[in-house]
Structure 1
Amino acid sequence: MAWQSPISPGISWYEASVDDRPEYPPLEGSTQTDVVIIGGGFTGLQAAYTLALAGVDVRLIEAHRLGDGGSGRNGGQLGTGQRWWPEEVEEEIGLERSRALFKMGEAAKAHLFDFTARENIDMDYQPGHMIVAHKARMEKDFRANAEIAAERYDYPHLHFMDKQETAQKVGSNRFHFGVRDAGTGHVHPMKLLVGLGKAAARAGAKVHEMTGASAITSEGGKVRVQTPRGTITAGKALIATNSYIGNLEPVTAAHVMPIGSFIGATPPLDDFPGVIPGGESVCDSRFVVRYFRKSKDNRLLFGGREIYSSEKPDDITTHIRRQITEIYPELKDVKLTHGWGGYVGITLPRQPFVREVMPHVTSIGGYSGHGVMLSNYCGKLYADMISGKATDLELYRSFNVPPFPGGAKFRAPLLFLALTWFSMLDRL
């Protein structure tokens, strides 16, 4: 199977709070198209939407429902720039290239806002994001981040917060200091995903749910994608499965690994006005990051548990409630109304994987927790590339994204050991 089922069988709060979630028919029989897209998340749907607007005949297949994967179940934080602070990689790639990548991230943000405004998609956008420090020794880096962003990246929206301000804005004394980003925010990912699916269909893309890809081949200038009920023959193909690649295509599977991440939702916290009073999203400085935010109806959505294998934990909410209580002791008796999980696709350098994995077949994924805006933008850039336009996608193509060590048999156990080690360091 090319698709891995979501870790959590429970219904997410996102799914429960979406009123209109259209169904799209499965593919019946064999067919031909200009471009076939495998995967109905942000990358695939945005590519389908942009290609259809350009008059390209495009067909997208999704193994389950649109939104059942990571795009519909994630933390909803947009972030700024790339996955990492730009100054972290200046020595490796140089200031000019680092600036280009930061600018690309800002273009991705602008594209998302422009797209949702144009298509009248209400994604419950709320402004503001904070990164908070769980270790006091990080102060120099946090202070420098805001200064460097303004001076070297023309981004004046970062503000260093001391311990008192951090405690007031987060509503907790747990953290030492932080950085507030006024130039970004957070969204309801399922509302965005549903709206994107509707927009792609309106534009003329042929969208098929419950249609998994069991094999993909490329020869004689044609790509063939095998599904349970027929074969799709196309001139080009986009693999946009991210961490849900399974054994469909080995190059992608070697470079993009799944990490299971879990989120819990509380009831509306009307009796606790001190919890993130400004409504920003928050993530901490741990390698195994904890991320949380308030929904528009005042729920706390908290993500913090990760696993590094395909196992399905027996209990989600107990672990998440323990982490919530560490930060907000006053919420120790608040029960969670929803608990769910999904896979995040990561690469070794935490940079997106963009590669032609066989003739006429491009694979894009591995956003490493920064995918809401980058995946949408990469989908657009792929479509622009197919239409013959020069795009920023070449910036990602030029990255050296190595495969995970260990081969197909040992890469998952080695990843488990490595990330368990970093998780231990977070606690020391």
Structure 2
Amino acid sequence: MKWQSPIAPGLSWYQATLAERPTYPQLDGSTSADVIIVGGGFTGLQAAYQLAADGVDVVLVDAARFGDGASGRNGGQLGTGQHWWPEEMEHKLGKARSLAFFRMAEDAKSHLLDFARAQKIDIDFTPGQLSVAHKRNMEYTYRHHAEALAERYDYPHLSFMSKQETAERLGSSHYYCGLRDIGTGHIHPLKLLAGTAKAAAKAGARLYEMTKALNIDRADGRIAVETERGTITADRALIACNGYIQEHLEPKTAAKIMPIRSFIAATTRLPKALKILPGCESVDDSRFVVRYFRKAPTGELLFGGREVYSADDPKNVSKHLHRQIVQVYPQLADIDITHAWGGSVGITLPRRPLVDEIMPGVTSIGGFSGHGVMLSNYCGKLYADEIAGRSQDLGLYRDLEIPAFPGGERLRKPLLFLALTWFALRDLI
């Protein structure tokens, strides 16, 4: 029987193409550890692996199965840098900090690929990414971005594409120009997630699925995480729930990380004669409500695009995504969709990751705003590195000011929906 996630809609193509997805037990009774981690996505599992490899006694719990959240259901694109382009971050944070964040993202990229090789996890890595412009007046910005990365950030892997080259590489004339990045690529995220869980368990981490954390508190110098089937006490705690954070568990984080729904559809295998994405790069476009797509190694088109800024799941996801596919690729009007699924992506107001000490000994990490494949994994590693005294790089994120979304608990989501809907309408102008 196919597993249907209780926290995210639809059966994913990733799940359908994963040869093995081990299950892990529920916590049964109370226990203690050096570190308790809440959240079994990339951040939590990578932290659990690194901590256990260092000899730290670590317990990790997740309310669903590992991979049911965004880590196992996302677009699989690694990207380059942070959410904001480096030249944009220079204006906000200064050149030195912008350069430090760019180098961190490059380290994150290298770490992900090195970790997968070292653990012998076949993540279907495919090189190349195209970032394409849906408006004619973006040509100067795209040209300048490629020049800035080469000249000021020592990143020579980005090149500007004319409208003709963009059309040839996409197999579509829908976009006006673009950038080609040969220094990154895309992966099968659920394979990485499942492999990371196996590595963490082998290293000695105690992993529990279907174990919901109900409350977290500090008493007598220890952290206590209450679950439905027992209480875990520890010296430290990591909250790594990202877009699935609950107000009752940790209200400070929930005020700063907002979940948005994003959806992906998988088609049947594309006819080779159509020459769609002949270089097999992944694609993201310049819309505020971004469209992102790529061709799987086996030939299916994986197309994401319809975001919903609320917790509600829209009906007829396949229908809406098929319409967007045909806008980009009219030649696929008769293509069949085999899978459609969604999940919650965690965003912050400034679209920068959140690393926050919510109480002594308790760290909360999340809000990667669409750049979590690399950064969430790496932040898990950096959390373990900080405990071991190897690195203080996590402090780069901790020093960022991440305000709460306005409106309080009651009005926060309606206000976000209105604001982001307005931005989405600007995509049409």
Matching residue of 2:11: 11
How far apart, in 1, do the equivalents of 2:392 and 2:185 lie? 26
Q: Is the 8 A contact 1:172 1:327 kept in 2?
A: yes
Q: CA deviation at 1:243?
A: 0.6
The CA deviation string for residues 270-297 of structure 1, in whole angstroms up to 9 with x for no partner, is 3444111100000000111000000010
Distance 1:263 1:391 in 2: 36
Please name the residue that 1:300 is paired with.
301
Q: Counterpart in 1 of 2:311?
A: 310
For 1:52, the equivalent position in structure 2 comes to 52
Cα displacement (A) at 1:7 = 3.8
Say which is worse superposed, 269-278 or 373-382, in terms of deviation: 269-278
- TM-score (norm. length: structure 1): 0.98
Alpha-carbon offset, residue 388 of structure 1: 2.2
Which amino acid in structure 2 is aligned with residue 239 of structure 1?
A: I
Could you tell me which residue of structure 2 aligns to residue 246 of structure 1?
A: 246
Counterparts of residues 119-268 of structure 1 (less than 5 Å)? 119-247=119-247, 248-268=249-269
| Map 1:310-349 → 2, pairs under 5 A | 310-349=311-350
1 CA distance for matches of 2:250 and 2:165?
48
Preserved CA contact (<8 Å) 1:221 1:360: no
Paired with 1:136 and 1:366, the residues of 2 have a C-alpha distance of 31
Code of the residue aligned with 2:171 in structure 1: it is G
- In structure 1, the residue matched to 2:278 is 277
Letter aligned with residue 141 of structure 1: T
Amino acid paired to 1:242? N
Letter of the 2:74 partner, please give it: N
Deviations 1:195-216 (A, max 9, x none): 0000000011000011010111
- Structure 1 SS opposite 2:236: strand
What SS class does the counterpart of residue 36 from structure 1 fall into?
Answer: strand
Q: How far off its partner does 1:96 sit?
A: 1.1
Query: Amino acid of the residue matched to residue 400 of structure 2?
Result: F
1:350-399 per-position Cα deviation (integer Å, ceiling 9, x unaligned) = 10000001111100000000000100000000011111233211110111
Separation in structure 2 between the aligned mates of residue 426 and residue 341 of structure 1, nearest angstrom: 22
Q: In the aligned structure 2, how far is the partner of 1:272 from the partner of 1:319?
A: 26
Instruction: Name the CA distance, whole Å, in 1 between partners of 2:98 and 2:59.
Output: 35
Distance in structure 1 (CA, Å) of the matches to 2:272 and 2:145: 35
Q: Structure 1 CA distance, aligned partners of 2:331 and 2:92? A: 44
Matched, 1:291 2:292: yes
Contact kept, 8 Å, 1:90 with 1:98, in 2: the verdict is: yes
- Structure 2: runs of 5 or more not aligned: none
Q: Name the amino acid aligned to 1:137.
A: N
Show the counterpart of 2:106. 106
Quote the offset at 1:22 in angstroms.
0.4
1:65 aligned residue: 65
Q: Across the two proteins, how many residue pairs are aligned to each other? A: 424
Tell me how far apart the structure 2 counterparts of residues 157 and 23 of structure 1 sit (CA, whole Å).
40
CA RMSD of aligned residues (A): 1.0
Aligned equivalents of 1:312, 1:99: Cα separation in 2: 39
1:409 is aligned with what amino acid? R
Matches within 5 A, 1:355-370: 355-370=356-371
CA distance in 2, matches of 1:206, 1:76: 27
Give 1:386's aligned residue. Answer: 387
Unpaired runs of at least 5, structure 1: none
Deviation string 1:87-115 (CA, Å, 9 cap, x unpaired) is 01211211111101000000000111111
Amino acid at match of 1:86: P
Percent identity over paired residues: 60
Q: CA–CA distance in 2 between the matches of 1:412 and 1:274?
A: 42
Contact 2:8 2:69 in 1 (8 A): no
Alignment partners' CA distance in 2, 1:391 and 1:369: 24
What SS is found at the alignment partner of 2:254? helix
- Partner SS for 1:267: strand
1:290-316 deviations in whole A, cap 9, x for unaligned? Answer: 000000101000000010111121211
Is the contact between residue 6 and residue 341 of structure 1 (CA under 8 Å) also seen in structure 2? no
